[in-house]
Every structure is written in C-alpha cells, then in structure tokens.
Amino acid sequence: MAGSEHGIYAGMWVFPDPRVMTRDMAGKIASMPRMFTLALGTAGVLFALGIVGFVIRAIGDGFDDRAPWGYYLATFSFVFMVTSAAPIAAVAFRFTKSHWRRPLSRVSELFAVVGILNILLFIPMMFMLPSIGNPAGNVEGQLEVRRTIWFEAPIGAPHSWDILGVIFLAVTAIAILWVSAMPDMAEHRLTATGFRRWVYNKLAGHWYGTRRQWNAQKAGLALLGALYFMLLIFVHFIVSSDYAQSLIPGWKDSIFPVIYSITGLQVALGTTLMILFIMRRWGGYQAYLGKSVFWSASKVQLGLTLLWAYHLFAFFITYWYGRLVVEQNIIKYLFIESYGGVFAANLVLSFIIPFAILLWNPVRRSAWGPALAGLSAALGALMFNIRIFVGAANSGDIYSEFINVVPAAVYPDVWDVFMVVGGIGAAVFVYMLATKLLPLMSSWEVKEGAMYQHMGKFMRGEYLVLGKPE
C-alpha cells in the first residue's frame, strides 16, 4: 500500500490499484480468524442464554403483568436505540458530503440487518402494553382512559401503530443498505462462490456501473436517507412515549422523547467508532482507517454529549421548579431515591466520562479516545434504559391520575440478567454474521474518495490535496 503519515491523517490511503482493495475485502469476507470465531461463538452463547431467560420468564409469569418484564423492555429499547440510530451516521455524513466518513458508512449501514431482530424482539412487547381504556370500567379514583399520545379512535392504537413503525423503519434501513452495497455486490460476484455468489447475483441484479445507474443510486440514497431520518424520530417518539411515559401515571414531558433520540444518536455513533477501532487494531483494516475518521467523528460525538446534558438539565429544572406532587414523586422515583444510583451511573457514563475524554484534542484525535468515549456512552445508555423502562414497568396502577407513593427500585434476578446479556449478544451475533456476507468497508466509496486526493508538496512540506466534485 502506498501512503504516508499524511495519508493516515487524511483517513484514507491512495491506492495504486483498486483491484488490491477488491481482493483484500473479498478475502476478509471469506476468512474466519480465530478471534472472530471466538467472539461469534461467545455472542451465540449469550444469545442462547437470552432465549432461556425469556422462555422461563414467559412460563413462570406470562404476559398479563408487565412488571416482571421490565428488564426485557429495557433490553429491547437499548438494542433498538443503538441499531436503529446507527444508519444515520452514513445518512447524515453523506448529506454533508464529508470525505472522512467513507470508511465509516458501511459499518453503520450494516446495523440495518439487526432491524430484523428488532421486529422479532418487539412482538412480545405488544402483549405487555395494556390497552388505553380501563378494563375495570369507571372506578372511583381511576381514569377511564389512561394518558397516552393516542386517541381511542385509531384502529389498533397503540399496538398496531407501534409494530408498523418498527417494521417500516427496519425495511427502510435495509433498503439503504441494499442500494449502497449494490456496487460492491456486483463486483464481488465475479469472484465469490457458493451461497455468496448466489446472493450477490440476486441482489446486485443488473448493476453494471453505468452513469445512469450511479445517478439513480445517488438519488435513491438521498431520498431513502431523508425518509429514514423522519421515520427514526417518529418511531423513537412512539416507543419512548408508549413504553415509558404512558406507563408512569402523571408523567407528562415533551423533552423526554428528544432525550431518547439524542441518547440513541450518541450511543450509535460511539458504537460505530468502537467497531472501527476494533477493525483498525485487530481486524487488519489499518491501511484503510486513518485517524481523521475518529478525529472528525469525535467532534460530532462531543456535540451529542453536550446536547444530552442540556436536554437532561432542561427536563430536570422544569420538574424541580414546578414542585407539583407528581413532579416531585417522578424526580424521586427516576432520579434521586429509587433509581438514584442508576441515574448517577447514567450521568457519569453518558456525560462526565465522554466529555472528559473528548475535551482534550490529543485524545480526541487518537483512535482509542473516541472509541473509549463510545464505550462509556454505550454503558450509560444501558443504565438510561434500565432506569426508565424498568421503572415504567413497575410504576403501579397506570390508570391512576399520578403517582401517590414512590415505588421501590426493582433489581434483576438471574433470568433478567440472561435476557439483558442475551439481547445484546443477539444483536452482536446477527451483526457479525452480516459481515460474512457484506464487506465492513464500502469499497466503491473508499475508491471514489481515493480518486479525489493525492499528496502534493508545498514549500518544504508534503500535504494532502483534496478535490471536491460538488
């Protein structure tokens, strides 16, 4: 590979022959290194433990009472939050025409495959969500219709609309992945064998790389990206509202869905950077991943961290000064008393540690700094979902006007732990399997970027000269 430290700084190498990258990517798809096999096997074992925990919980508790399923709700929300928001990294940075994002695009787009898992995980949640109307009828001290974002008129609300939102989001993400990966599949079908070749032939179709096809792909990615962003915010809104706010009597907050989406974007970008670091450090992708990928993405990561803190403060200060009984009880329940320890961990992991890491420029422009901040944000997001969704599932009578008594915290048993690690392991397992079908690097985008740059001399230094076609 030809290059210099400037090439690494730029985030890409200048390739002498594009065929080198094609062969390299094909080899990585077909190979099964020992470390990869071990990680895949571990994720598979965790997946199996999650299934065991789910089955035993279902046999023992059924689905009539949502309280035993609090950690399942939290696990789904965490996996959904990360995997649904991840494709936005490719979508957003394509819109801004950022060259540094080219090695990042496919890593984030591959999370679309986990969208199929999200649909399957969401199906049991439909049985856990109670109906809007009070089945007990007009009981003194209770609401006839619980507070929710839905009226009773829409057919099947909220259950049918929630599942349709999750399905449409997953389908749109897969469409983005397919349109983006079509040139790579058309290229790899020339050398692939067996099942991969059959898949590439079916999915790549009649792609031959004509000018008309490239223009259609560009337009398709733009339209699908805009649609996906709108769907993401809407589905985050209904999931956070129906499975969190509506289950805590008296909780009315317009800021919480925004915090939910920002948390998802923060942890999704952080998770993408963690995968890129693993690829660079142990996956043999160092020739394709320069430090500017991490440095540039870390600036966005820092902005999302600050946005998270701002919206948390905006929520907290409103309830703190409102001082209504219900507002005080919600603060005690989710922030200070019952889940005070979990909230402290959430605050440290989601804001204090990432902010401290990303504040320093030498750390921010390294490969490990943004990845470490991403790991901290991921753990913080897990604490966030446990605090909110376990609390929502165990908040008491949802047909009451507000919380009269602050409920106690609910801690996990062994089956809850199995479901938490199993849900995360399932997402990792599905994602790793997807890397054996599609390359982790978008070959056509990296090659295109290499055509726009070369190393040039100015006075005594050597610098990267970057061309922008648009």
Task: Convert the pLDDT of each residue in 87-143 to its tens digit.
Answer: 999 999 999 888 888 899 999 999 999 999 999 999 999 999 888 877 776 676 688
Task: Based on DSSP, count helices (H) and strands (E) in the chain, helices before strands.
Answer: 20, 2
Q: Is residue 298 part of a domain?
A: yes
Residue 18 forms part of a structural domain: no
- Structural domain includes residue 26: no
pLDDT at residue 18 tops 60: yes
Q: Which residues make Cβ contacts (< 8 Å) with residue 317, sequence separation at least 6?
A: none
Count up the domains in the chain and report the number: 1
Question: Does residue 19 fall inside a structural domain?
Answer: no
Model confidence band, residue 152 (pLDDT cutoffs 50, 70, 90) = low
In angstroms, the Cα distances linking 345 to 70, 237, 248, 349 are 19, 24, 22, 6
Span 186-203, pLDDT tens digits: 998 888 888 889 999 999
On whether the pTM is more than 0.85, the answer is yes
Is residue 22 situated within a structural domain? no
pLDDT score recorded for residue 469: 67
- Per-residue model confidence as pLDDT tens digits over 220-231: 999 999 999 999
In a domain, 42, yes or no: yes
Residues 6+ apart with CB under 8 A from 29: 188, 196, 435, 436, 437, 438, 439
Cα separations (Å) of 67 from 47, 103, 454? Answer: 23, 43, 60
Q: What pLDDT does residue 399 have?
A: 85
Q: Is residue 185, in this structure, part of any structural domain at all?
A: yes
pLDDT value of residue 470: 65
Crossing angle between the packed helical segments 414-434 and 34-61, to the nearest 10 degrees: 140
Range of the domain at 69: 33-466
374 within some domain: yes
Q: Which of 1-10, 327-336, 378-387, 454-463 has the lowest mean pLDDT?
A: 1-10
